[in-house]
Structure 1
Amino acid sequence: MDFQPTLPIPISFISGRYLLFSIDFVTYLRREHNICGVLTGTLPQIPQQNVFLGLPLELMPEEARVLVDKGVACIVDEAKAHQGMQSLLEEDRRKYLRELESQGLHASRIFAERKGQKKAETLKKIAEKKAKGKAQAKPQSEESVNAATATSEPSAANDEPASVVDFFAGDTPTPSTSSKGTSTGTPAAQAFHVTPATSYPPLPDPTTSSELIVFRPDVPSSYPLFAHMHSRGYFLSPGLRFGCQYVAYPGDPLRFHSHFLVVSSEWDQEIDLMDIIIGGRLGTGVKKGFLLGGPRQAKTEDGSEIERTESVRTFSIEWAGM
């Protein structure tokens, strides 16, 4: 069952950056609201950090703003929120640490179960391979069969193949193999160390305090075009590597190639013709369209200005002969 969070989702505002530390929130926003962001954290188990990164997920100001405008998220000032750590009672601290230890024990037990299943599957495959080899072998004399069995099969004291025993010997000791553990539980020394991604709990939910909410993120002038493309179902990511403001995908970037290089412009802004030619040739060279757009400076009958995010015009430029 897909995770359904309680709205609004808190987006952490730290040093001018908009961050998400919960993997549940990250997957929900990507699945339901076309928000990808950029992973910026390190992964302790993967030394090659130039390929894969982890939490937190950093959002562009435009992504944070569109979520706030839709009522899906709110911006939380984490510096103010964490001032509550100073007044946290000692009993609350101990309770929180006990909960983390309990989670570590639970994760350790799950790891041990999965390791046991993996070991059983490996032994089963080896036994099936042996049985298949014996069935296909030519009939031999009883003496040669006994000799081959004595040299190829493990002894009665150790009925597992040596290679399998060595393979599993290096694993983390499980509750059943630990000299200090018992059959009823895992000792504290074997519990996995859990590092929470957020401070809620022990701190209270920040969305319940109006003092912590930063209402609307500041966005660049390109936001109307970003909101327009997002409302049409596109996934947008930063376009620095293609020399544009955004790269627009028709679906999740994990499944689709991008369709447009997106550049924003004001309605009455003068545009150098060479910039249009360069953008069109670049887009065609990387098999994408060059999309130029911006909000119209239109007014209603009573003279009030039309909402900029709802009055955007876009133009796509492609070279047909390349």
Structure 2
Amino acid sequence: MIRIHVLEEKAFVWNSSDAQRIREEHRIVGTLVGALARKPQQNARLGLPLQLLPEETRLLAEKGVATLLKNLTLQPLADDAGQDPLFLEAVAAYEKEQEESYQEQLRLAGEQRKALMGTLAERIAEGRAKKRQRRGEEANPLSEPADLEPRFVFPREAMMVQLPTERTQRGQEEEVDWRLPSKEWPYSGQPEHEMRYRVFQNLWERGYYITSGSKFGGDFLVYPGDPMRFHAHFIALCMPRDAPLSLCDIISVGRLGSNVKKTVLLCSVDEDGTVAYTSLQWSGMQ
């Protein structure tokens, strides 16, 4: 069972195997939103967790392949939490692990530094000998590599810290019923969500890959295959069937689709749940 964690109305998948299975077996793409541990200040390449759209989350839950969970331990610490023996034990274990990691990195960095100085020892000694000659001092034999290197310093600020993407031990969790609106999952029963989900579900059942369309001004982007291999063919906009649509809005969305070479789909849902599509495309667009 795929485990989806909900937090503040958002759904996340932390397990890499689950994220791979979601994409390969169920054509659900999601969005990676986590920073890479080695390059946390860049946003060109992201990692786990995988954030899912509400429609993606509901589809997986409705198919019975995923369960929604909330973590009961993510609560503010009480004022006396610092005196809790379990809390103090966890802090001590963490500090011990960090110290062992620092000592290991210190040893490896020292060995690497020593090897580098060994390769440069002769050049360093020759440079020092030339300086002594220029100052009129007597030339000394080449120093040993250990004598050429000052005391090695490895600051703790330079230590690499592992950022786990999943707990080694599961905390207290509670299953969230996606069928009922709640603080963690308020979407159930909302007209807009129900309309978007019906459109998402219908497109997914037709074999398409669907992602968020916010960057193109729509609700969804519709791909004929995996987005890693194909460009989106459609921009889907969900709207009530009887909602008025002005001529200016039609021109705007039509021009938007033509500029990015995609067909705009106006998607609406009938009372019986049937999804109707109206495509907009500039007549001169090839």
Scaled by the length of structure 1, what TM-score is found?
Answer: 0.56
Partner of 1:21: 14
Which residue number corresponds to residue 290 of structure 1?
Answer: 264
The CA distance in 2 between the partners of 1:234 and 1:286, in whole Å, is 19
Counterpart Cα distance in 2 of 1:226 and 1:31? 18
Letter of the aligned partner of 1:276 in structure 2?
I
**Of 206, 212, 225, which residue of structure 1 is paired with 2:175?**
212
- Tell me the distance in 1 between the aligned counterparts of 2:204 and 2:73: 31
Change beyond 3 A, Cα 1:197–1:44:
closer
Question: Which one of 23, 26, 43 corresponds to residue 36 of structure 2?
Answer: 43
Can you give the 5+ residue segments of structure 1 that lack an aligned partner in the other structure? 1-6, 113-161, 164-191, 298-305
Q: CA separation of 1:42/1:239 partners in 2, compared to 1, >3 Å: closer, same or farther? A: same
Inter-CA distance 256–35: structure 2 relative to 1 (3 Å threshold): same
Distance in 2, matches of 1:16 and 1:200, equals 25
Deviation at 1:212, TM superposition (A): 2.8
Q: 2:68, 2:178 within 8 Å by CA — same for their partners in 1?
A: yes
Distance 2:243 2:13 in 1: 36
Q: Which amino acid aligns with 1:268?
A: D
Shift of 1:194: 5.5
Contact kept? 1:244, 1:261, Cα under 8 Å: yes
Q: Deviations over 1:104-151 (max 9, x none)?
A: 99xx9xxx9xxxxxxxxxxxxxxxxxxxxxxxxxxxxxxxxxxxxxxx
Deviations 1:250-285 (A, max 9, x none): 111111000001101112222223222221221122
Q: Which of 151, 163, 166 matches 1:198?
A: 166
Give the match for residue 312 of structure 1: 275
Q: 1:82 to 1:46 in 2, by over 3 A?
A: closer
In structure 2, C-alpha distance between the alignment counterparts of 1:59 and 1:22, rounded to whole Å: 13
Superposed, which structure 2 residues align to 1:1-322 within 5 Å?
Answer: 7=1, 9-47=2-40, 49-78=42-71, 80=72, 195-199=163-167, 201-203=169-171, 206=173, 211-216=174-179, 217=185, 218=187, 220=193, 221-297=195-271, 306=272, 308=273, 311-322=274-285
Q: Structure 2: how far apart are the matches of 1:270 and 1:81?
A: 47
Please list every run of 5 or more consecutive structure 2 residues that lacks an aligned counterpart in the other structure. Answer: 76-80, 109-118, 121-159, 180-184
Distance 1:270 1:288, change over 3 A: same
Tell me the distance in 2 between the aligned counterparts of 1:250 and 1:275.
Answer: 26
SS in 2 for 1:55: strand
- Secondary structure (helix, strand or coil) at the match of 2:278 reads strand
Per-residue CA distance 1:269-303 (angstroms, 9 max, x = gap): 22223222221221122111001111112xxxxxx
How far residue 33 of structure 1 moved from its aligned partner, in angstroms, is 1.1
What is the CA-CA distance between 1:25 and the residue it aligns to? 0.9
In the superposition, relative to structure 1, how do residues 202 and 251 fare at CA in structure 2: closer, same or farther (>3 Å)? same
SS at 1:10's partner residue?
strand
1:314 partner SS: strand
**What residue in structure 1 maps to residue 113 of structure 2?**
none
In the superposition, the TM-score normalised over structure 2's length comes to 0.63
In structure 1, C-alpha distance between the alignment counterparts of 2:203 and 2:6, rounded to whole Å: 25
